[in-house]
Amino acid sequence: MSAAPVLNPFSLFFASIFTSNILLANFLGMCSFISISKDGKSSNGLGFAVTVVLGITSAVNWAVLHFVLIPLQLEYLRYIVFIITIAATVQILEMIIDRVSQALYMSLGIFLPLITVNCAILGVSLFIDIRAYTFVQSVIYGVGSGLGWWLAIAALSAIRKKTDKSPVPAGLKGPGITMITIGFMAMAFMGFSGMLQVQ
Amino acid sequence: MSAVGTILKENLWTNNPIFMQVLGICSALAVTNLLTNTMVMTIGVTFVTAMSSLTVSLIRQFVPRKVRMIVQTLIIAFYVIIVDILLKAYAPDISRQLGPYVGLIITNCIIMGRLEAFAQSNPPLLSTWDGMTAGFGYMAVLLVIAFVRELLGFGSLFGVRIMPSGFVPWTIMVTAPSAFFLLGIIIWVGKTIMNREGAPA
Amino acid sequence: MNRQGLIYTIVFTFVVSFVFVLLLAVADQQTQARVLQNQTIARQRAILSALSLPAESVEEVQEQYAAVEQLAVEDEILYRVETGRGALVAKEFAGAGLWGTISGVIGVTEGLDRVTGIEIIDQNETPGLGARIDEEWFKRQLAGERIREGTIRVGGTGDGDYDYENGKIDAITGATRTSESMQKIIKAEIDQLEQLIGGGS
């Protein structure tokens, strides 16, 4: 792995939301993205949940990687360990929310089981490992990726509300037109890369 | 049609994991910019799905219900790590290019889907076949996407230059959006053909 | 024994986890030596490439690399080799790219009048745009490029500036930031090499 990169935190945050959007540029988190984006409210709930889980798991997995796996030379087990911490984090989060607030549970808690298998969560942890981010960079990247995912799903559900009423050819209805829509969104997000300041 | 034949047809066509069930897309699209990477990735997925199906089917009588999903995830992770270790040792350049996507095979919904739907309640050999053919269905769609993306994005196939030197590569094919578009088109074609055949949409 | 009972569940999970992790540990052990060798060869190949001494196969790399001597100068490691054209020096670098660290090897003539080449080991730039710094056409521009005013200018856009006397190479169309980063990195490395070579051997 290379040395920890020297990165402007703003660039990193901006990049993780827009130009390196975990979904539109890295293709992660698609399954629930496609199914949940049919409904606007659920989309926001899921987006919020994803952001929270990503923020927490990127911090936790960074710590596990640097304080447990690397010192004990158990790096080859990172896939298993990351998944376990993700599942545990989600489980604990669900229990806490259920105790603390019913309202929060309705808006966030019910989506948590869906998140455990969301490839974006594991993907972010793996990217953090590969890119050798520092702790702060990991959290920025995690939260930013979550927000980017949330933005994407919110936008997609808004678009789908309109396309559902449009005359779409039979073969394209459903996943087909959704894919093409996502493609256009991905192109739009790529356009953000010209906006960055020089570090 | 025998069970073997039915499973093959279903996993390759009528219930193709990608364009019919729309599963396992995450790890799929990212590597389709090059045919070689796609080949390696899909062989990996097929291997993991087949071996996981085999293992789960073999121990299905012994697994307590409560820990079923955890054990399945453990088995999938085990085979994925094996693939990762093998790649790192024998094909380091490809391993680097595939990056985190090898590890992401674990969250690939196709594999868990096959284990839940088939392997945990069917005999070993048939389950292995089911896993393998699901992998093939996955492979077929991805190779088509990769074929178009590499040919038009790099002018080559499997790293061998095909297009004439005057050819200006289509940059869009190298970047993310093209994968979505191509996948949408494949879904469109697949579903249209199936609708005409009168099969349930 | 009750297959759904608590004790059985716990024991089962433990046994299964233990077996799988054990197998993985074995697989990891067996391939460790090989993975390490891969990494070493990859690094040596990059150093040779930056010195314009191409080597592909493992044997070629080991043969060519035998002529390279490793020197520790201040806190850095320099790789020096005597050739018919004079002495060449290479150094590993890690600089800030747009989205992460760009690391690689840069080679120069000992007199610091030309760059012999550059090799990219790791980068996280935008695929299809910034990531093209890893493509042959881009790197080739630097193989023998004259150093003017203590630097190589990265500017303009095109398909590759192979005029090795003008001290300039083409930037990548659509990847302004990454190209600027490359210019910064190259200048910083040349500056540092001036210091190290001047002070060292």
ipTM of the complex: 0.79
Q: Which residue type is seen at B144?
A: V
Inspect the interface and report whether the beta carbons of C128 and B82 lie closer than 8 Å. Answer: no
Inspect the interface and report whether the beta carbons of C4 and B66 lie closer than 8 Å. Answer: yes
Whole-prediction pTM: 0.80
Kindly indicate the confidence band of residue C127, based on its pLDDT and cuts at 50, 70 and 90. low
* Gap between the Cα atoms of B44 and B38, Å rounded: 10
pLDDT value at residue C8: 84
pLDDT above 90: percentage of residues in chain B: 15
Q: Which of B128-132, B155-159, C19-23 has the lowest mean pLDDT?
A: B155-159
In a domain? residue C2? no
Inspect the interface and report whether the beta carbons of B62 and C24 lie closer than 8 Å. Answer: no
Pairing of strands C101-109, C86-96: antiparallel
Nearest chain C residue to B60, by CA: C3
A193 versus A158: which is more confidently predicted?
A158
Across residues B167-186, what is the average pLDDT? 84
pLDDT value at residue A151: 93
Closest alpha carbon to C98 in C120, C126, C132 = C126
Q: Which of A29-43, A97-111, B88-102, C159-173 has the lowest mean pLDDT?
A: A97-111
Mean of per-residue pLDDT scores for chain B = 83
Structurally, chain C folds into a number of domains equal to: 1
A76 versus A58: which is more confidently predicted?
A58
Give yes or no for residue A198 having a pLDDT over 50: no
Give yes or no for residue A10 having a pLDDT over 80: yes
Give yes or no for residue C17 having a pLDDT over 50: yes
Number of Cβ within 10 Å of residue A38's Cβ equals 15
pLDDT value at residue A1: 34
In a domain? residue A2? no
pLDDT value at residue A44: 85
In a domain? residue A33? yes
Kindly indicate the confidence band of residue A196, based on its pLDDT and cuts at 50, 70 and 90. low
Across residues C54-73, what is the average pLDDT? 83
Structurally, chain A folds into a number of domains equal to: 1
Which residue segment(s) compose the domain that A171 sits in? 9-191
In a domain? residue C95? yes
CB pairs under 8 A between A and C: 45
Which residue segment(s) compose the domain that C89 sits in? 69-200
Query: Which residues on adjacent β-strands are paired with residue C155?
Result: C170
pLDDT value at residue B195: 79
pLDDT value at residue A2: 38
Across residues B41-56, what is the average pLDDT? 92
In a domain? residue A112? yes
Contact C141, C161 (CB under 8 A): yes
Give yes or no for residue A85 having a pLDDT over 80: yes
Contact A51, A120 (CB under 8 A): no
Candidates C18, C24, C40: best to mutate against B (most CBs of B within 10 A) is C24
Measured in whole angstroms, how far is the alpha carbon of residue A100 from the centre of its chain? 25
Inspect the interface and report whether the beta carbons of A2 and C98 lie closer than 8 Å. Answer: no
Mean of per-residue pLDDT scores for chain A = 83
Give yes or no for residue A60 having a pLDDT over 90: yes
Kindly indicate the confidence band of residue C150, based on its pLDDT and cuts at 50, 70 and 90. confident
Expressed in angstroms, the distance from the first to the final Cα of chain C is 76
Chain B partners within 8 Å of C129 (Cβ): 171, 175
In a domain? residue C149? yes
Give yes or no for residue A16 having a pLDDT over 60: yes
Q: Which residues contact C126 (CB under 8 A, 6 or more apart)?
A: A19, A193, B175, C98, C99, C175, C178
In a domain? residue C155? yes
Contact A145, A137 (CB under 8 A): no
Kindly indicate the confidence band of residue C199, based on its pLDDT and cuts at 50, 70 and 90. low
Per the structure block, which two tokens stand in for A41? 């409210």
Kindly indicate the confidence band of residue A56, based on its pLDDT and cuts at 50, 70 and 90. very high
CB proximity A186 to B under 8 Å: yes
Inspect the interface and report whether the beta carbons of C94 and A2 lie closer than 8 Å. Answer: yes
Give yes or no for residue A6 having a pLDDT over 70: no
Kindly indicate the confidence band of residue B198, based on its pLDDT and cuts at 50, 70 and 90. low
